[in-house]
Protein backbone atom coordinates (compact mmCIF):
# COMPACT_ATOMS: atom_id res chain seq x y z
CA UNK A 1 0.00 0.00 0.00
CA UNK A 2 1.44 3.33 -1.02
CA UNK A 3 0.35 6.32 1.04
CA UNK A 4 -1.24 9.51 -0.34
CA UNK A 5 1.73 11.47 1.04
CA UNK A 6 4.02 9.63 -1.37
CA UNK A 7 1.72 10.35 -4.32
CA UNK A 8 1.64 14.02 -3.26
CA UNK A 9 5.45 14.07 -3.20
CA UNK A 10 5.49 12.65 -6.73
CA UNK A 11 3.03 15.29 -7.94
CA UNK A 12 5.15 18.02 -6.35
CA UNK A 13 8.21 16.69 -8.12
CA UNK A 14 6.35 16.50 -11.42
CA UNK A 15 5.08 20.07 -10.92
CA UNK A 16 8.63 21.30 -10.39
CA UNK A 17 9.63 19.93 -13.76
CA UNK A 18 6.93 21.85 -15.64
CA UNK A 19 7.85 25.10 -17.29
CA UNK A 20 5.99 28.20 -16.13
CA UNK A 21 2.82 29.15 -18.03
CA UNK A 22 1.93 25.53 -18.46
CA UNK A 23 -1.04 23.26 -18.06
CA UNK A 24 -0.52 19.51 -17.77
CA UNK A 25 -3.31 16.99 -18.11
CA UNK A 26 -2.99 13.30 -17.34
CA UNK A 27 -6.01 11.12 -17.92
CA UNK A 28 -7.18 7.84 -16.48
CA UNK A 29 -7.15 5.00 -18.99
CA UNK A 30 -10.42 4.73 -20.89
CA UNK A 31 -12.49 1.56 -20.74
CA UNK A 32 -11.80 -0.59 -23.80
CA UNK A 33 -14.64 -2.41 -25.51
CA UNK A 34 -14.17 -6.10 -26.16
CA UNK A 35 -17.46 -6.48 -28.00
CA UNK A 36 -20.87 -4.87 -27.89
CA UNK A 37 -21.37 -3.84 -24.23
CA UNK A 38 -18.62 -6.04 -22.80
CA UNK A 39 -15.35 -4.46 -21.77
CA UNK A 40 -11.83 -5.79 -21.25
CA UNK A 41 -10.80 -5.98 -17.59
CA UNK A 42 -9.99 -2.43 -16.58
CA UNK A 43 -6.50 -1.40 -15.63
CA UNK A 44 -5.49 2.13 -14.81
CA UNK A 45 -2.96 3.98 -16.96
CA UNK A 46 0.42 3.51 -15.27
CA UNK A 47 1.54 7.16 -15.45
CA UNK A 48 -1.77 8.44 -14.10
CA UNK A 49 -1.62 5.78 -11.39
CA UNK A 50 1.94 6.70 -10.46
CA UNK A 51 0.81 10.26 -9.68
CA UNK A 52 -2.47 9.44 -7.97
CA UNK A 53 -2.86 5.81 -6.93
CA UNK A 54 -6.44 6.23 -8.17
CA UNK A 55 -7.96 3.16 -9.83
CA UNK A 56 -11.17 4.58 -11.32
CA UNK A 57 -11.66 5.35 -14.98
CA UNK A 58 -13.19 8.62 -16.20
CA UNK A 59 -10.78 10.78 -14.20
CA UNK A 60 -8.09 13.36 -14.93
CA UNK A 61 -5.28 15.10 -13.10
CA UNK A 62 -4.55 18.71 -14.05
CA UNK A 63 -1.56 20.85 -13.13
CA UNK A 64 -1.74 24.61 -13.64
CA UNK A 65 1.57 26.41 -13.31
CA UNK A 66 1.65 30.14 -13.95
CA UNK A 67 4.90 31.16 -12.30
CA UNK A 68 6.65 28.97 -9.76
CA UNK A 69 3.52 28.00 -7.90
CA UNK A 70 1.55 25.08 -9.26
CA UNK A 71 -2.06 24.16 -8.52
CA UNK A 72 -3.19 20.58 -8.83
CA UNK A 73 -6.77 19.50 -9.55
CA UNK A 74 -8.34 16.08 -9.73
CA UNK A 75 -11.45 15.37 -11.79
CA UNK A 76 -13.48 12.30 -10.89
CA UNK A 77 -16.73 10.69 -11.92
CA UNK A 78 -19.81 11.93 -10.10
CA UNK A 79 -21.56 9.47 -7.83
CA UNK A 80 -24.66 8.25 -9.65
CA UNK A 81 -26.72 5.52 -7.96
CA UNK A 82 -28.15 4.17 -11.22
CA UNK A 83 -24.67 3.76 -12.73
CA UNK A 84 -23.27 2.40 -9.48
CA UNK A 85 -25.94 -0.31 -9.54
CA UNK A 86 -24.26 -1.73 -12.67
CA UNK A 87 -20.60 -0.93 -12.33
CA UNK A 88 -19.92 -0.47 -8.65
CA UNK A 89 -19.39 2.30 -6.16
CA UNK A 90 -17.46 5.41 -7.07
CA UNK A 91 -15.44 7.55 -4.72
CA UNK A 92 -17.14 10.76 -5.83
CA UNK A 93 -15.81 14.30 -5.45
CA UNK A 94 -16.68 14.73 -1.76
CA UNK A 95 -14.69 11.68 -0.63
CA UNK A 96 -11.94 12.40 -3.16
CA UNK A 97 -11.46 15.82 -1.53
CA UNK A 98 -10.81 14.06 1.78
CA UNK A 99 -8.47 11.46 0.32
CA UNK A 100 -6.30 13.43 -2.09
CA UNK A 101 -3.91 16.17 -1.11
CA UNK A 102 -4.78 18.32 -4.13
CA UNK A 103 -5.95 21.91 -4.40
CA UNK A 104 -9.45 20.96 -5.49
CA UNK A 105 -11.56 18.13 -6.85
CA UNK A 106 -14.18 18.56 -9.57
CA UNK A 107 -16.53 16.22 -11.32
CA UNK A 108 -15.25 15.05 -14.68
CA UNK A 109 -17.99 16.79 -16.70
CA UNK A 110 -16.26 20.05 -15.69
CA UNK A 111 -12.96 19.04 -17.26
CA UNK A 112 -13.42 20.95 -20.51
CA UNK A 113 -14.81 24.24 -19.13
CA UNK A 114 -12.33 24.28 -16.26
CA UNK A 115 -9.36 23.45 -18.44
CA UNK A 116 -10.41 26.13 -20.90
CA UNK A 117 -10.19 28.56 -18.01
CA UNK A 118 -6.80 27.21 -16.93
CA UNK A 119 -5.46 27.50 -20.44
CA UNK A 120 -5.99 31.29 -20.55
CA UNK A 121 -2.51 32.68 -21.10
CA UNK A 122 -0.81 29.28 -20.94
CA UNK A 123 1.99 28.64 -23.41
CA UNK A 124 2.58 24.92 -22.98
CA UNK A 125 0.20 21.99 -22.78
CA UNK A 126 1.68 18.81 -21.38
CA UNK A 127 -0.06 15.51 -21.92
CA UNK A 128 0.95 11.89 -22.38
CA UNK A 129 1.74 11.54 -26.09
CA UNK A 130 1.23 7.78 -26.01
CA UNK A 131 -2.11 7.75 -24.25
CA UNK A 132 -4.80 7.64 -26.91
CA UNK A 133 -7.52 9.50 -25.17
CA UNK A 134 -10.56 11.34 -26.49
CA UNK A 135 -10.45 13.77 -23.58
CA UNK A 136 -7.00 14.96 -24.58
CA UNK A 137 -7.98 15.34 -28.22
CA UNK A 138 -10.82 17.62 -27.11
CA UNK A 139 -8.56 19.64 -24.81
CA UNK A 140 -6.11 20.22 -27.64
CA UNK A 141 -8.86 21.94 -29.60
CA UNK A 142 -9.50 24.29 -26.64
CA UNK A 143 -5.91 25.40 -26.39
CA UNK A 144 -5.77 28.22 -28.89
CA UNK A 145 -2.74 30.10 -27.47
CA UNK A 146 -0.57 27.11 -26.91
CA UNK A 147 2.85 27.45 -28.47
CA UNK A 148 4.07 24.00 -27.64
CA UNK A 149 2.69 20.58 -26.85
CA UNK A 150 5.00 18.70 -24.49
CA UNK A 151 5.12 15.10 -23.42
CA UNK A 152 4.11 14.71 -19.78
CA UNK A 153 5.03 11.03 -19.97
CA UNK A 154 8.73 11.72 -20.35
CA UNK A 155 8.75 13.48 -16.95
CA UNK A 156 6.75 10.76 -15.17
CA UNK A 157 8.59 7.88 -16.79
CA UNK A 158 11.93 9.27 -15.74
CA UNK A 159 10.64 9.54 -12.18
CA UNK A 160 9.48 5.93 -12.39
CA UNK A 161 13.05 4.76 -13.04
CA UNK A 162 14.01 4.79 -9.36
CA UNK A 163 11.74 2.72 -7.18
CA UNK A 164 10.80 3.82 -3.66
CA UNK A 165 10.88 1.43 -0.74
CA UNK A 166 7.08 1.06 -0.86
CA UNK A 167 7.24 0.16 -4.56
CA UNK A 168 10.00 -2.37 -3.88
CA UNK A 169 7.85 -3.89 -1.12
CA UNK A 170 4.99 -4.44 -3.60
CA UNK A 171 7.32 -6.03 -6.15
CA UNK A 172 8.62 -8.32 -3.42
CA UNK A 173 5.05 -9.27 -2.60
CA UNK A 174 4.34 -10.01 -6.28
CA UNK A 175 7.48 -12.15 -6.36
CA UNK A 176 6.47 -14.07 -3.26
CA UNK A 177 3.29 -15.16 -5.03
CA UNK A 178 5.14 -15.84 -8.29
CA UNK A 179 7.62 -17.98 -6.37
CA UNK A 180 4.82 -20.13 -5.03
CA UNK A 181 3.40 -20.47 -8.54
CA UNK A 182 6.68 -21.57 -10.15
CA UNK A 183 7.40 -24.02 -7.34
CA UNK A 184 3.92 -25.46 -7.78
CA UNK A 185 4.61 -25.83 -11.50
CA UNK A 186 7.84 -27.74 -10.79
CA UNK A 187 5.89 -30.18 -8.72
CA UNK A 188 2.73 -30.41 -10.84
CA UNK A 189 4.10 -30.74 -14.38
CA UNK A 190 4.64 -34.50 -14.29
CA UNK A 191 0.99 -35.09 -13.44
CA UNK A 192 -0.52 -32.86 -16.12
CA UNK A 193 -1.26 -33.49 -19.78
CA UNK A 194 -1.45 -30.04 -21.42
CA UNK A 195 0.37 -26.74 -21.23
CA UNK A 196 -2.87 -24.93 -20.32
CA UNK A 197 -3.31 -27.14 -17.28
CA UNK A 198 0.03 -25.96 -15.99
CA UNK A 199 -0.91 -22.37 -16.84
CA UNK A 200 -4.10 -22.83 -14.80
CA UNK A 201 -2.12 -24.10 -11.79
CA UNK A 202 0.13 -21.06 -11.98
CA UNK A 203 -2.61 -18.50 -12.44
CA UNK A 204 -4.70 -20.13 -9.73
CA UNK A 205 -1.90 -19.31 -7.30
CA UNK A 206 -1.81 -15.73 -8.59
CA UNK A 207 -5.54 -15.22 -8.09
CA UNK A 208 -5.74 -17.14 -4.83
CA UNK A 209 -3.20 -14.75 -3.32
CA UNK A 210 -5.03 -11.61 -4.33
CA UNK A 211 -2.92 -10.70 -7.33
CA UNK A 212 -4.71 -8.89 -10.16
CA UNK A 213 -3.60 -11.94 -12.10
CA UNK A 214 -0.82 -12.02 -14.63
CA UNK A 215 1.45 -9.06 -15.32
CA UNK A 216 1.58 -10.30 -18.96
CA UNK A 217 0.19 -13.30 -20.76
CA UNK A 218 1.83 -16.40 -19.32
CA UNK A 219 4.07 -18.38 -21.64
CA UNK A 220 3.94 -22.11 -20.97
CA UNK A 221 5.94 -23.54 -23.82
CA UNK A 222 6.95 -27.19 -23.89
CA UNK A 223 9.57 -28.69 -26.18
CA UNK A 224 10.02 -26.90 -29.50
CA UNK A 225 7.28 -24.35 -28.62
CA UNK A 226 9.84 -22.64 -26.39
CA UNK A 227 11.58 -21.55 -29.58
CA UNK A 228 8.68 -19.21 -30.37
CA UNK A 229 9.61 -16.29 -28.15
CA UNK A 230 6.08 -15.00 -27.57
CA UNK A 231 4.35 -18.38 -27.55
CA UNK A 232 1.04 -17.93 -25.74
CA UNK A 233 -1.16 -20.64 -27.30
CA UNK A 234 -0.30 -22.88 -24.34
CA UNK A 235 -2.42 -25.68 -25.84
CA UNK A 236 0.03 -28.48 -26.71
CA UNK A 237 0.45 -31.76 -24.84
CA UNK A 238 3.18 -32.03 -22.24
CA UNK A 239 5.55 -34.82 -23.18
CA UNK A 240 7.83 -36.62 -20.80
CA UNK A 241 11.45 -36.04 -21.77
CA UNK A 242 10.82 -32.46 -22.90
CA UNK A 243 11.50 -29.20 -21.12
CA UNK A 244 8.88 -26.54 -20.43
CA UNK A 245 9.77 -22.88 -20.52
CA UNK A 246 7.46 -21.03 -18.14
CA UNK A 247 7.58 -17.25 -18.33
CA UNK A 248 4.92 -16.13 -15.86
CA UNK A 249 4.64 -13.45 -13.22
CA UNK A 250 1.76 -11.92 -11.33
CA UNK A 251 0.88 -8.28 -10.90
CA UNK A 252 0.18 -7.38 -7.28
CA UNK A 253 -1.49 -4.06 -6.52
CA UNK A 254 -0.26 -2.70 -9.85
CA UNK A 255 3.33 -3.94 -9.49
CA UNK A 256 4.82 -6.63 -11.72
CA UNK A 257 7.02 -9.61 -11.42
CA UNK A 258 8.60 -11.28 -14.44
CA UNK A 259 10.08 -14.71 -13.96
CA UNK A 260 11.13 -17.48 -16.32
CA UNK A 261 12.06 -20.95 -15.27
CA UNK A 262 12.71 -23.87 -17.60
CA UNK A 263 11.92 -27.23 -16.08
CA UNK A 264 11.66 -30.85 -17.20
CA UNK A 265 8.11 -32.21 -17.68
CA UNK A 266 9.08 -35.44 -15.97
CA UNK A 267 11.09 -33.80 -13.20
CA UNK A 268 14.50 -35.04 -14.43
CA UNK A 269 16.78 -33.28 -16.91
CA UNK A 270 18.42 -35.39 -19.63
CA UNK A 271 22.19 -35.13 -20.10
CA UNK A 272 21.83 -32.83 -23.13
CA UNK A 273 19.26 -30.64 -21.40
CA UNK A 274 21.59 -30.32 -18.42
CA UNK A 275 24.48 -29.23 -20.65
CA UNK A 276 22.43 -26.47 -22.24
CA UNK A 277 20.68 -25.43 -19.05
CA UNK A 278 23.86 -25.17 -17.00
CA UNK A 279 25.47 -23.05 -19.71
CA UNK A 280 22.57 -20.55 -19.66
CA UNK A 281 22.42 -20.59 -15.86
CA UNK A 282 26.14 -19.82 -15.56
CA UNK A 283 25.72 -16.89 -17.94
CA UNK A 284 22.71 -15.61 -16.02
CA UNK A 285 24.54 -15.73 -12.69
CA UNK A 286 27.63 -14.08 -14.15
CA UNK A 287 25.61 -11.20 -15.64
CA UNK A 288 23.67 -10.68 -12.41
CA UNK A 289 26.96 -10.54 -10.49
CA UNK A 290 28.10 -7.63 -12.70
CA UNK A 291 25.20 -5.41 -11.68
CA UNK A 292 26.15 -2.28 -9.77
CA UNK A 293 25.56 1.45 -10.00
CA UNK A 294 26.97 3.14 -13.10
CA UNK A 295 27.28 0.00 -15.22
CA UNK A 296 25.60 0.23 -18.64
CA UNK A 297 22.91 -2.19 -19.69
CA UNK A 298 24.65 -2.45 -23.06
CA UNK A 299 27.72 -3.77 -21.23
CA UNK A 300 25.56 -6.52 -19.68
CA UNK A 301 24.14 -7.24 -23.13
CA UNK A 302 27.52 -7.55 -24.83
CA UNK A 303 28.94 -9.67 -22.03
CA UNK A 304 25.91 -12.00 -22.15
CA UNK A 305 26.28 -12.33 -25.92
CA UNK A 306 29.97 -13.08 -25.58
CA UNK A 307 29.44 -15.75 -22.92
CA UNK A 308 26.51 -17.36 -24.72
CA UNK A 309 28.47 -17.41 -27.97
CA UNK A 310 31.41 -19.06 -26.19
CA UNK A 311 29.03 -21.58 -24.66
CA UNK A 312 27.49 -22.35 -28.04
CA UNK A 313 30.92 -23.00 -29.53
CA UNK A 314 31.88 -25.23 -26.63
CA UNK A 315 28.73 -27.31 -27.12
CA UNK A 316 29.21 -27.48 -30.90
CA UNK A 317 26.15 -25.39 -31.73
CA UNK A 318 28.31 -22.79 -33.47
CA UNK A 319 31.64 -23.51 -35.08
CA UNK A 320 34.62 -21.19 -35.41
CA UNK A 321 36.36 -18.35 -33.69
CA UNK A 322 34.26 -16.67 -30.98
CA UNK A 323 35.43 -13.17 -31.87
CA UNK A 324 34.59 -13.66 -35.53
CA UNK A 325 31.22 -15.24 -34.72
CA UNK A 326 30.39 -12.32 -32.43
CA UNK A 327 31.33 -9.86 -35.15
CA UNK A 328 29.13 -11.68 -37.64
CA UNK A 329 26.39 -11.83 -34.98
CA UNK A 330 26.08 -15.58 -35.59
CA UNK A 331 24.98 -16.10 -31.97
CA UNK A 332 21.96 -13.83 -32.47
CA UNK A 333 20.23 -16.63 -34.34
CA UNK A 334 19.97 -18.54 -31.07
CA UNK A 335 19.83 -15.61 -28.62
CA UNK A 336 17.91 -12.93 -30.48
CA UNK A 337 16.58 -10.81 -27.61
CA UNK A 338 17.75 -8.32 -25.02
CA UNK A 339 19.39 -9.31 -21.75
CA UNK A 340 16.70 -7.58 -19.72
CA UNK A 341 14.48 -4.60 -19.19
CA UNK A 342 13.25 -2.32 -16.45
CA UNK A 343 10.30 -3.59 -14.45
CA UNK A 344 7.86 -1.85 -12.13
CA UNK A 345 4.30 -0.68 -12.66
CA UNK A 346 4.59 -2.27 -16.10
CA UNK A 347 6.36 -5.50 -16.81
CA UNK A 348 8.38 -3.69 -19.45
CA UNK A 349 8.44 -0.59 -17.34
CA UNK A 350 8.05 2.57 -19.34
CA UNK A 351 11.30 4.22 -18.31
CA UNK A 352 13.83 5.91 -20.56
CA UNK A 353 16.91 3.97 -21.63
CA UNK A 354 18.57 7.10 -22.98
CA UNK A 355 18.88 10.65 -21.70
CA UNK A 356 17.95 13.84 -23.53
CA UNK A 357 21.25 13.80 -25.38
CA UNK A 358 20.54 10.27 -26.58
CA UNK A 359 23.21 8.91 -24.26
CA UNK A 360 22.58 5.60 -22.58
CA UNK A 361 21.43 5.90 -18.96
CA UNK A 362 23.57 3.79 -16.64
CA UNK A 363 22.14 1.74 -13.79
CA UNK A 364 21.47 3.54 -10.52
CA UNK A 365 20.52 2.33 -7.05
CA UNK A 366 16.75 1.85 -6.86
CA UNK A 367 16.29 0.66 -10.43
CA UNK A 368 14.80 -2.78 -11.00
CA UNK A 369 15.59 -4.78 -14.10
CA UNK A 370 15.25 -8.32 -15.33
CA UNK A 371 18.15 -10.48 -16.41
CA UNK A 372 17.01 -13.12 -18.86
CA UNK A 373 19.53 -14.88 -21.08
CA UNK A 374 18.31 -17.75 -23.19
CA UNK A 375 19.10 -20.17 -25.96
CA UNK A 376 16.57 -21.21 -28.59
CA UNK A 377 17.35 -24.23 -30.77
CA UNK A 378 14.52 -25.02 -33.22
CA UNK A 379 13.71 -28.59 -34.13
CA UNK A 380 14.01 -27.91 -37.85
CA UNK A 381 17.45 -26.26 -37.76
CA UNK A 382 19.73 -28.88 -39.29
CA UNK A 383 22.85 -26.89 -38.38
CA UNK A 384 22.34 -27.65 -34.70
CA UNK A 385 23.61 -31.01 -33.34
CA UNK A 386 20.59 -33.32 -33.41
CA UNK A 387 20.66 -34.00 -29.67
CA UNK A 388 20.01 -30.31 -28.91
CA UNK A 389 17.26 -29.63 -31.43
CA UNK A 390 13.81 -28.71 -30.18
CA UNK A 391 15.04 -27.22 -26.91
CA UNK A 392 14.49 -23.63 -25.77
CA UNK A 393 15.77 -22.37 -22.43
CA UNK A 394 15.44 -19.01 -20.69
CA UNK A 395 16.15 -18.19 -17.05
CA UNK A 396 14.91 -14.84 -15.79
CA UNK A 397 15.24 -13.07 -12.45
CA UNK A 398 14.27 -9.61 -11.17
CA UNK A 399 17.15 -7.57 -9.81
CA UNK A 400 17.23 -4.44 -7.67
CA UNK A 401 20.28 -2.22 -8.14
CA UNK A 402 21.58 -1.20 -4.71
CA UNK A 403 24.20 1.35 -3.73
CA UNK A 404 26.79 -1.40 -3.26
CA UNK A 405 25.78 -3.67 -6.10
CA UNK A 406 22.53 -5.57 -6.45
CA UNK A 407 19.92 -7.67 -4.72
CA UNK A 408 18.33 -10.54 -6.60
CA UNK A 409 14.70 -10.19 -5.50
CA UNK A 410 13.79 -13.60 -6.93
CA UNK A 411 16.75 -15.54 -5.55
CA UNK A 412 14.38 -17.86 -3.65
CA UNK A 413 12.80 -19.21 -6.83
CA UNK A 414 14.71 -22.42 -7.48
CA UNK A 415 16.87 -22.56 -10.57
CA UNK A 416 19.78 -24.93 -9.83
CA UNK A 417 19.33 -28.26 -11.63
CA UNK A 418 19.47 -30.26 -8.42
CA UNK A 419 16.95 -27.99 -6.68
CA UNK A 420 14.47 -28.16 -9.56
CA UNK A 421 14.77 -31.95 -9.59
CA UNK A 422 14.17 -32.08 -5.83
CA UNK A 423 11.13 -29.77 -6.05
CA UNK A 424 9.75 -31.82 -8.93
CA UNK A 425 9.93 -35.01 -6.93
CA UNK A 426 8.12 -33.69 -3.84
N1 LIG B 1 7.68 -11.79 -19.91
C2 LIG B 1 8.14 -10.87 -20.85
C3 LIG B 1 9.59 -10.71 -20.79
O4 LIG B 1 10.27 -11.55 -20.24
O5 LIG B 1 10.12 -9.74 -21.22
MN1 LIG C 1 11.31 -10.06 -19.04
MN1 LIG D 1 9.53 -12.82 -18.76
Q: Would you state the pLDDT for residue 144?
A: 77
Looking at the fold, whether 86 and 40 belong to one and the same domain comes out as: yes
- Best probe residue, ligand 1, of 245, 256, 372 (max atoms within 8 Å of C-beta): 372
327-333 long-range Cβ contacts below 8 angstroms, 24+ apart: 331/305, 332/305
Supply the pTM of this predicted model.
0.97
Q: Would you state the pLDDT for residue 2?
A: 96
Range of the domain at 266: 165-424
Radius of gyration (Cα) for the chain, nearest Å? 24
Looking at the fold, whether 241 and 273 belong to one and the same domain comes out as: yes
Select from 234, 232, 252 the least CA-distant residue to 178. 252
The residue among 124, 159, 194 that closes a domain is 159
- Best probe residue, ligand 1, of 230, 261, 337, 370 (max atoms within 8 Å of C-beta): 370
C-alpha 237/C-alpha 224 separation (Å) is 12
DSSP annotation string for 27-67: EPPPP-EEETTEEPPP---HHHHHHH----SS-EEEEEESS
Looking at the fold, whether 221 and 340 belong to one and the same domain comes out as: yes
372 Cβ inside 6 Å of ligand 1: yes
Looking at the fold, whether 274 and 247 belong to one and the same domain comes out as: yes
Q: Would you state the pLDDT for residue 136?
A: 86
CATH of the domain at 305: 3.90.230.10
Beta-strand pair 243-247/260-264: antiparallel
Per residue in 160-187, is it b (16+ CB within 10 Å) or e — as a string? bbebeeebbebbbbbbbbbbbbbbbbbe
Looking at the fold, whether 224 and 361 belong to one and the same domain comes out as: yes
CA-nearest residue for atom 5, ligand 1, is: 348
The residue among 135, 159, 183 that closes a domain is 159
Looking at the fold, whether 115 and 169 belong to one and the same domain comes out as: no
Looking at the fold, whether 352 and 235 belong to one and the same domain comes out as: yes
Select from 213, 221, 225 the least CA-distant residue to 347. 213
In degrees and rounded to multiples of 5, residue 329 shows phi and psi of 60, 35
The residue among 142, 159, 176 that closes a domain is 159
Looking at the fold, whether 134 and 175 belong to one and the same domain comes out as: no
Select from 111, 155, 171, 102 the least CA-distant residue to 137. 111
How many angstroms does the Cα of residue 371 sit away from the middle of ligand 1?
Answer: 10
Select from 255, 250, 46, 47 the least CA-distant residue to 171. 255
216 Cβ inside 6 Å of ligand 1: yes
C-alpha 255/C-alpha 253 separation (Å) is 6
CATH of the domain at 60: 3.40.350.10
Q: Would you state the pLDDT for residue 419?
A: 97
Contact indicator for 53, 44 with CB cutoff of 8 Å: no
Order of all β-strands in the sheet with 124-127: 104-107, 70-76, 60-65, 22-27, 124-127, 148-151
Looking at the annotation, which residues are catalytic? 37, 230, 247, 258, 337, 341, 348, 372, 376, 394, 396
How many angstroms does the Cα of residue 396 sit away from the middle of ligand 3?
Answer: 6
C-alpha 11/C-alpha 17 separation (Å) is 10
How many angstroms does the Cα of residue 189 sit away from the middle of ligand 3?
Answer: 19
Domain count, the chain: 2
Residues of the chain with pLDDT below 70 are none
258 Cβ inside 6 Å of ligand 1: yes
Looking at the fold, whether 178 and 155 belong to one and the same domain comes out as: no
Contact indicator for 49, 8 with CB cutoff of 8 Å: no
How many angstroms does the Cα of residue 179 sit away from the middle of ligand 2?
Answer: 15
Looking at the fold, whether 100 and 174 belong to one and the same domain comes out as: no
Looking at the fold, whether 222 and 255 belong to one and the same domain comes out as: yes
247 Cβ inside 6 Å of ligand 1: yes
State the DSSP H helix or E strand holding residue 408, giving kind and residue range, or none if neither. strand 406-408
Looking at the fold, whether 155 and 187 belong to one and the same domain comes out as: no
Neighbours of 51 (CB within 10 A): 25
Amino acid sequence: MIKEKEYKKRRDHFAQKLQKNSVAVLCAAPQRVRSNDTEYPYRQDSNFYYLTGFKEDNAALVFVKKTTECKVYLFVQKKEPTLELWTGKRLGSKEAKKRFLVDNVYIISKLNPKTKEFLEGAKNLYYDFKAQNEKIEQLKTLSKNILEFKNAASIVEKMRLIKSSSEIALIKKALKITKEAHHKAMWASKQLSFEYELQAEIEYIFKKNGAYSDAYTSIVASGDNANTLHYVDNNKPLKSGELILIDAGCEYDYYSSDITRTIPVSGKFTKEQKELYQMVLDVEKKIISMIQPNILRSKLQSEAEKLLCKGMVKLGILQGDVKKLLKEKAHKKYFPHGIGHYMGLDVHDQNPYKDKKDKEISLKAGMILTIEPGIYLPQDDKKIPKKYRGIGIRIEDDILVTKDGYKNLSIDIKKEIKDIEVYSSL
